[in-house]
Structure 1
Amino acid sequence: MCGRYSLSKSKIDLEERFQAEMLSDFKPRYNIAPTQLVPVITSDSPKGFSFFYWGITPDFGQNKPVAQKLINAKAETVHEKVSFKSSFQSRRCLVPADGFFEWKKLGKKTKIPYRFTLRDESLFSFAGIWEEYEGLNGEIQHTFLILTTTPNSVVEEVHDRMPVILSRENEKKWLDKYSNETELLALLKPASPDLMQSYTVSPLVNSVQNDSPGIIRRTSPMDQHGNYTLFG
């Protein structure tokens, strides 16, 4: 799954990279977590950033609080699942990011957090789908989830799933309303391991309350007690 990611670049960086306008203020984010309001680019409005909540309510689960929603969908079955099929067909989005986090288990209690980025640490996007639903107070809310796939050789050292990372060319295909199902499914593959890198980060990332630059800095792996380990 993908349960945490970063978007540490500036508003100007985002606008230049995605050729889209951001009307709202944006501050770099270092530890984005489910339920939070973050920028996406939708197939309905590809020239501008929209701010949606991370977490989506299936059609059969209307009016659930955001915290109880799903955050990921498997790329292999997104076109078949009743809860996701409609979004996959007509409500696709790009989820801008510059890294994501996973935790490597070392024994029963110890987990080491890793950050995964492109080798040049540049911006990229996850393949996402979005939904519109009526909230508890009657207001219309917009939410999204991130599609995941099997891991490449970089990620599989830590986790058995990874988010779908789209190339620039494939971003356009993903947002294109005229792309057919076969074309779309062909995009949902693991990113080339040659394009990626990983490194250990501070246990600060474990808490969603922490959102500072220190979270994405390279840090020697430590166990839950703060002791250095032999694992890299």
Structure 2
Amino acid sequence: MENPFGKITTLEKVLELFYNGMTLMFGGFGGVGSPPTLIYGILDKGIKDITLIGNDTGFPHIGIGKLVSQERAVKVIASHIGSNPIAGKLMHEGRLEVEFSPQGILAERIRAGGVGLPAILSDIGMDNELVSKNKPHFLLNGKDYLIETALTAEVSIVYAKKADPYGNLIYDKSARNTNPLVAMAGDITIAEVEEIVPLGSLDPDEIVTPGVFVDHIIPSKGVNWKWAWE
């Protein structure tokens, strides 16, 4: 019998996919658009030694910042950490490795990973040691470029406004931010959603992330999805 839920599952079930030492990519910008239920579940399970990939480190008690503040991460790849002073403190104390990537380049590295490209070329940061350090160069048409490696993760977590049982996603305004790119770049992608609607309810023109990129859907805390049994 076909599963009537499609890709819909529970927090407890998807938490089996998280483990110590994993690489985790997350959507969100300063906490907006990050999946709170999944982040809480990771904290509650005690997952540690994570490599985090995302736009920023949130705030100390908001978004992915909770994982950073509780020292669950050993490395962060992000465009900035300024909104989370604990991240900066841990970095200066040598307890958190931070790889900075300019915001646009970071987004493009994630996109490249999602479409199967190994790297991109960029001239941004050529004169900035913080950006260019230890990166190979490539000469193309007489111009020197940095080789920026693509980014992927063992698990990607995203947050969406609506989903149908097959994982088609719609985002809420600016909470969309990096979520569509992150959804593409995970070996496994888990979407936490505010509202789960029956198949066929979404206008195809509104869908931002096709379900082909999403492996599992969980309802955000408090979401009523009783209709799925009816």
TM-score by length of 2: 0.24
Which structure dedicates a bigger proportion of its chain to strand?
Answer: 1
| Bigger Rg over Cα | 2
Report the structure, 1 or 2, having the larger helix content.
Answer: 2
